[in-house]
Amino acid sequence: MDVYAHRRALPMAVTLTKRKRKTKRKPKLKPLPTLWEIPDELWARIEPILVEFWPQKPTGRHVANWRKMLNGILFRMRTGCQWEQLPEKFGPKSTVHDWLQRWVQGGIFEKIWAVLVAECDELGAVQWQWQSADACLGKARFGGEKDGQKSDRSREKGDQEELADRW
């Protein structure tokens, strides 16, 4: 008599009575191309925000090409390159950085970012349930010991020797 006969027969009986349900798969959305430069339709939505923040003045220096500045900022954010490595096609790196600082301090960059996110959201390209953050870790430039151990010398004022007069 086979002791394990009932174990072999059970799965067959179960598979005959159970039916697999066919689940409808959600169609996979084709990923959007990476946004390296602002397209014309999107620029038409962003430009009024910038004009409101920095209206055209009748005299004075010419204002930099904001579209080139924004494209340079996007390039830097996408690649993570240093400002010195910004390609020349975006204009002087200091000008691009200055406009970023002005827009951030004036609260304009948040509005521009909201337009960019809304555009991606309208296209169904933002997955709000999944977010990530990126970081770069490096050594402290001007502080800390290499091995992280505490110094043997006390840094309290009373424990330091007085310097002798050399003159």
Whether the CB-CB separation of 108 and 49 falls below 8 Å is answered with yes
Q: Residue 167 pLDDT > 60, yes or no? A: no
**For residue 101, what pLDDT band results from cuts at 50, 70 and 90?**
very high
Q: Six-digit token pair at 27?
A: 């169609």
In this structure, which amino acid lies at residue 2? Answer: D
CA separation for the pair 66, 106 (Å, rounded): 15
Q: Length of the chain in residues, anyone?
A: 167
Q: Six-digit token pair at 88?
A: 């020349």
CA separation for the pair 69, 47 (Å, rounded): 12
Residue 161 φ/ψ region, left for φ over 0, alpha for ψ in the -120 to 50 degree band, beta for the rest: beta
Residue indicated by tokens 């240093």: 82
Q: Residue 140 pLDDT > 70, yes or no? A: no
Average pLDDT, the chain: 76
- What pLDDT, on a 0 to 100 scale, did the predictor assign at position 59? 80
Domain limits of the chain? 40-52+64-122
